[in-house]
Amino acid sequence: MRYLKILIIILIPISYVYASQSYIKVTKTDNKKNFSTINDVLKQYSLTMKIMEVHNSDKSVSHIIYTGPFTTYERAAHYQQKLKSYFSNPQVVVLDKKDKTDGMFFGLGLGYASATTTYDKDKQAIKLKEPQNYGISFMGEVGYVFKNGMFSTIGYSTLKNSDLFFENIYVSLGYRFYNKGKFTPYLSALAGIGSLTWENIPLAATNGEVVNKSISPIFGGRVGLIYNGFESFSFAASYHLLTLDHTADIYIDSTNKSSYKHSTLHSFLLEFQHKF
């Protein structure tokens, strides 16, 4: 519930601030010498100039001048009226982010995860409480998507319950299979480092010290499906599989010893992704 509250608190202002972005197409010019004059006009209203080159069929180059972005269409229309005093036909254009495939993004995910636990016993049986190996999983990451569909991220994920606490930091490299529909499947490979902390220790080590934490490299992959029906953000569902090597050795004496081993972590997440 704590992670869910954090997620809601973050999403509400983001959805409001980044609901839309509009630009003003100020004018078109074939002469770079006009840039200074156009920029001087825009500076009067504290607006910045953006230039887009257009290569014409006769091999000449034209330049389209934009300004923005504006967080609302109404604000862009306000400055459009002011610029009509200087330019013949400034136009408000809305950037449709759901059609924009490249750029930075960040994502937050919440779901269910479970770890595979194996119990190895040697010589004599040791009666131990089986740890709870499932619980709520949280994920946060930032990344960049390239125009060809490749993307990379750096992320953090957890699984926490009354017995165990998994934490993972990872990088990923993947591919989004863009199509004309609103749903985009994707897959990626992950690698990083993870830790496992025992919240409830099954038994102390022979020297009397409690060994309750281990560090392990992690490797794995994920598959998911993104819904792109919104302008500034999208939703996704994903499955993550991580391989790891967390082992807790348990000793009573030389003839009574065993170990708990966690080798895989499965996660099913619902994600929110915001596009910059």
Contacts of 177 (CB under 8 A, 6+ apart): 149, 184, 185, 186
Q: What is the pLDDT of residue 126?
A: 56
Domain segments of the chain as ranges = 20-95, 100-275
Greater confidence (275 vs 241) lies with 241
Question: Using 50, 70 and 90 to split pLDDT, how confident is the model at 217?
Answer: very high
Greater confidence (117 vs 2) lies with 117
Q: Are 154 and 187 in contact (CB under 8 A)?
A: no
Q: CA nearest 91: which of 80, 105, 103? A: 80
Greater confidence (250 vs 135) lies with 135
Greater confidence (276 vs 241) lies with 241
- Cβ neighbours of 40 (radius 10 Å): 11
Query: Is 70 exceeded by the pLDDT of residue 95?
Result: no
Q: What is the pLDDT of residue 242?
A: 95
Range of lowest pLDDT (63-67, 146-150, 191-195): 146-150
Query: Is 50 exceeded by the pLDDT of residue 9?
Result: no
Architecture of domain 20-95: 2-Layer Sandwich (3.30)
Instruction: Please indicate, yes or no, whether the overall pTM of this predicted structure exceeds 0.75.
Output: no
CA dist 63 and 27 (Å) reads 9
Average the pLDDT over 46-75 and give the result: 83
> Across all residues in the chain, what is the average pLDDT?
81
Q: What is the pLDDT of residue 168?
A: 95
The percent helix, strand, coil of the chain (3-state, each to 5) is: 15, 55, 30
Residue type, 235: F
Of 52-56, 83-87, 222-226, the range with the highest mean pLDDT is 222-226
Q: What is the pLDDT of residue 121?
A: 57
Q: What is the pLDDT of residue 209?
A: 44
Q: Which CATH number fits domain 100-275: 3.40.50.620, 2.40.160.20, 3.10.129.10, 2.40.110.10?
A: 2.40.160.20
Q: What is the pLDDT of residue 146?
A: 87
End-to-end CA gap in the chain: 28
Query: Is 70 exceeded by the pLDDT of residue 226?
Result: yes
Four-residue CA torsion sign, 26, 27, 33, 37: negative
Greater confidence (129 vs 187) lies with 187
- Look at the chain and count its residues: 276
Q: ∠ at Cα 83 (77, 85), nearest 5°?
A: 125
Greater confidence (12 vs 232) lies with 232
Range of lowest pLDDT (22-31, 169-178, 219-228, 261-270): 22-31
Greater confidence (202 vs 72) lies with 72
Q: What is the pLDDT of residue 22?
A: 82
Average the pLDDT over 77-104 and give the result: 79
